[in-house]
Structure 1
Amino acid sequence: METWNLEGELILNCNCTVFCPCVVSLGKHPPTEGHCQAWAGVRIDRGSFGDTDISGLNVGLMLDIPGQMARGNWTAAAYIDERASDDAFDALVKIFSGQARGTTGLFSVLVGEFLGAERQPVEFTTEGKTRRLVVGKKIKGAVVPIEGADPDSEVKVVNTGYWMGPDITIATATQGRVRDRGRVWDFDGRSAEICQIRWGNA
């Protein structure tokens, strides 16, 4: 098994009407709508898979979960940055399908149907506090941290056991559009998360 690691930022927007209960219940509490539909974007600032450099690449995800997150039976699809080399593409598929174990290894257990990975232009940009993800014509999303008492500090849930990372910034989506594989989702104004990530299998 190749050793891999990556550091960067993840954003996620789901159909929950208030902040996702999965972060603190670790998937044991049902989503606010009874099921979870979400898109996510990952910006890899630094990363490697064996001898393959994956730094500077972006990945998009679509997740469709029928009930409580921890019960599995997820349907998932991955969108890999079209700038990725063939080796980097293969590495990212292994990481985001759970085959590479480590932080994302739970995907191999929880995802019942992996719809596969495809190359797409995946743009992850930051403008002030707003993070935007554009995956071709399939995902167009933007999330922004919610306002707190101190406007200069993000509202966070810290020291969690959440798989993505211990500290989650509570956000909301100003845009959350998915158009792919029969899904037509619009999650503007719904729950969103921002997380600084350090993942790997070593």
Structure 2
Amino acid sequence: MIEWRIDALAFSSCNCAYNCPCQFELRPTHGDCRGFEVGRIERGHFGDVILDGLHWAILYEWPGAIFEGNGTMQAVVEERADERQRRALETVLHGGETREAVTHWWVFRAMSNKIHETTFKPIEFEADLDARTARVAIAGMLESVARPIISPATGEPHRIRIDLPAGIEFAVAEIASASTKASDPILLDLEDTYGQFNAIHHTGRGVVRQYM
């Protein structure tokens, strides 16, 4: 395998309630799963290809739980990436050069039987992990904003985390409220649904646990 590693900040959202059942090995809130992930690479390489500072996104949908398959997936790579960077990120996001089932990207690809051609677009991603706020804009495709969950009892921000010591996506995630709209090929029209901030430390051999 080609040696690669990505250390990044990621934000994602899906159509589930704030307590996304998928994280607890339960069925999705509404029976199906649809959402997206966006990230900014702090440090990264694919062989000798440097990926520092680049953004990526994945849009996805499944008719049921992810593990049941029959999904659809669309990868987006920031258009300022050069040709080698584009192909490197496309490979990683599609689960290539990765051992079986050791990253969520590998699982997403394996559980999708329709893979749209990777597209290359401007990606804007601003995030404040401590404040649980974010803004995402992918030109002509997706817009999303996140804010803290607000307690209906006190009117104050409610902070909650999900801890997955053996997770293949994250170790700890900060949970927020997200609203998202996306157009073809994967439609999203979400209002105050599950939002997730997390660090990513992935290699082709799996998650780097020393960060956890």
TM-score after normalising by structure 2: 0.84
- The aligned length equals 196
Corresponding residue SS for 2:19? coil
The 8 Å contact of residues 18 and 176 in structure 2, kept in 1 or not, is answered as: no
Separation in 2, partners of 1:154, 1:199: 26
Corresponding residue SS for 1:23? helix
Provide the residue aligned with 1:179 in structure 2.
183
Provide the residue aligned with 1:92 in structure 2.
89
Deviation for aligned residue 1:144: 2.6
Separation in 1, partners of 2:158, 2:5: 29
Corresponding residue SS for 1:196? strand
Provide the residue aligned with 1:133 in structure 2.
136
Corresponding residue SS for 1:93? helix
Separation in 2, partners of 1:129, 1:5: 26
The 8 Å contact of residues 145 and 169 in structure 1, kept in 2 or not, is answered as: no
Q: How does 1:101-140 map onto structure 2 within 5 Å?
A: 101-102=98-99, 103=103, 104-126=105-127, 129-140=132-143
Q: How does 1:23-62 map onto structure 2 within 5 Å?
A: 23-25=23-25, 29-62=26-59
Separation in 1, partners of 2:199, 2:157: 18
The 8 Å contact of residues 23 and 160 in structure 1, kept in 2 or not, is answered as: no
Deviations along 1:2-28, one digit per CA (max 9) or x if unpaired, are: 111111111111111332111121xxx
Separation in 1, partners of 2:63, 2:158: 35
Deviations along 1:129-183, one digit per CA (max 9) or x if unpaired, are: 411111102100112343589x79942111343321121111111x3011122x4
The 8 Å contact of residues 39 and 56 in structure 2, kept in 1 or not, is answered as: yes
Provide the residue aligned with 1:11 in structure 2.
11
Q: How does 1:153-172 map onto structure 2 within 5 Å?
A: 154-172=159-177
User: Do structure 1's residue 77 and structure 2's residue 74 form an aligned pair?
Assistant: yes
Corresponding residue SS for 1:187? strand
Deviation for aligned residue 1:185: 2.2
Separation in 2, partners of 1:191, 1:108: 22
Which consecutive aligned stretches of 4+ in structure 1 deviate over 6 angstroms post-superposition? Answer: none
Among the aligned pairs, what percent are the same residue? Answer: 24
Where in structure 2 are there 5+ consecutive unaligned residues?
Answer: 206-212
Q: How does 1:187-202 map onto structure 2 within 5 Å?
A: 187-202=190-205
Deviation for aligned residue 1:184: 3.6
Deviation for aligned residue 1:108: 3.5
Corresponding residue SS for 1:177? strand
